[in-house]
Structure 1
Amino acid sequence: ITERMNIGKYVDLSSRRLHGHDAMKLLRCILLGFADDGYISTRKLERKTRTDIRYRFLTGNESIGHSSFQRFMQNDLLHPVEDIFYELNDMIHHDDRIDIAADILTIDGSKFEANANKNTFVWKKSTKRYYMNAWKQFINLIGRLNAYFRKNGLDVFYSKIREPNPAYMLEIADRIEKYMESSEIKMVSGKGNKKSTIQKMYEEMKSLCIRMYKYMMHFDILQDRNSFSKTDPDATFMHMKWDYYNHTNIFKPGYNVQFGISGGFIRNILITSDGNDLPTLIPFLQKYKDRYGKYPSIAVCDA
């Protein structure tokens, strides 16, 4: 397969002298590793080239260090391994191993747990509730600030209607800080030091600003999803078929992986964060068309 590929399309051959290893050997080991394990680390690739007879055959009985694989993938591999997967499929197609006339694509998928802690979830409904509570606290704080400045004879008024975005809140905090400097009100901390009313409101404003910024970041990550994991923001919490914690159907962070099979060969793969299979059909078939230039004549799916 690799001898029939246009290797220059995938590998930058200009800096080969700097690494000391043949590009084809490195590429073949990486392809075999991904085909064998699905995902393989550079450390494991190094061990394989020392102990596995298949890798020894590909390298010409040579051991290759993990740093060589790392440099090759980072600096010289021009396209992701997935692109090579589709070129491989084209070769299989041209070899008539798949019945092109029938062109039946069978689609099915499953949910796979992400490598993320299950206790690091962020829920959209909860974030909305926390955001609204923080907004109410901000309105209350603005009312107290306006009352404080009015009491001290200052013509300062801040709007309660304006949405409390972090830039607006930091602007208010900076103005409070300048007022404290001009009025010679010192910032105090520690036991035995009583904070002034304006310092308490200043610190509350800073704390609210951090909270609002955090919630806005969560909304930006969530987009149309209902949840995500802090240790893997792309993962969504889904119901899994098997739970190794207490054998109940609880939520765990994961991905919805859809496969398209034709003639016994994997023809297309789509990894999504959508817990429902229904919205994945159109993007799955669109990806198939983008890769192969046409839709399958028949697509077989479950409910």
Structure 2
Amino acid sequence: MYKNYNMNQVILPLDFEMKLAEKDIAFSIHHLVESIPEEAFAPFYKATGCPSYHPKMMLKIILCGYTQSIFSGRRMEDLTKDSVRMMWLAQGYEPSYRTINRFRVHPQMQELLKQCFIQFRCRLIEEKCIDQQAIFIDGTKIEANANKFTFVWKKSVENYQASMIEKSNALYEQLVEERILPAIQKEQDDALSSEELEQVASTLEEVIDDYTEKLEASSDSSERKQLRAAREGNNRRLAINTHWEEQKKMIQATLSEAKTGAIYRKRKIDVEPVFGFLKANLGFTRFSLRGKSKVRNEIGLALMATNLRKYAKRG
């Protein structure tokens, strides 16, 4: 026996919200964006021309794409056509990838992301998910959107091989004339004569004989050890940075307190894994935009997507 399956049966369209799970991440994205003040969306309003998509809807679908490890505008456009979650957030609209990418790099996107983080933090405090005891700072490196191919094409090498060899030879001759030969001449000028070498050798013998006499006359084991090391030339020089030592003592004293020690222990579970989640779980290891302002927008979207994923999976 099979369940009823008939492709010729007419099915009326229902609200996509009914198909989402109770704690789906789309609801977290929806409530977060709706909590942003309306004043933050005012710069996106245009009184003339074709009516544009609402910035709330655009921000929702971009955040949803990032939470699903989708960072391409074309892929986000495809999701608005076949993803129940995206179709509900977009309410049936299907913005093109050009529209999505233009909105993502909009100059006012920074203010929207700022409001996102403010509202998200306020919600976490209200729900007692976080407190305001301390602020942690951490950093990581993410690959830029530069040329992936670090090798040079064979044709380019063949075309420029002759000029490269000529430039290399000219550079070698220049280095020999300007640096290598003067350095050799300087070493020859600074070389000691045979009389000077004999004087140095006699001085060293006198120093060694002096240490030997002191070593034989001493009965203290520690002193004999020091004299032996000095005679053999194994003594080491120690430099102590007093300022650094004071800083270490201060930090150790601070961390030895129960309150600060408990806060520092949270760093290993609350702070340091964040970038691991960003790269390993979210898959954000490379920027897809270029330019400092655009990169700020994208890293803000990626970090907010990481926060939303953790928030949606809370117990």
- With normalisation by structure 2, the TM-score equals 0.34
Q: Which one has the largest radius of gyration?
A: 2
**Richer in helix (by share):** 2
Q: Which has the higher contact order (CA 8 A, sep 6+)?
A: 2
- With normalisation by structure 1, the TM-score equals 0.35
**Richer in strand (by share):** 1
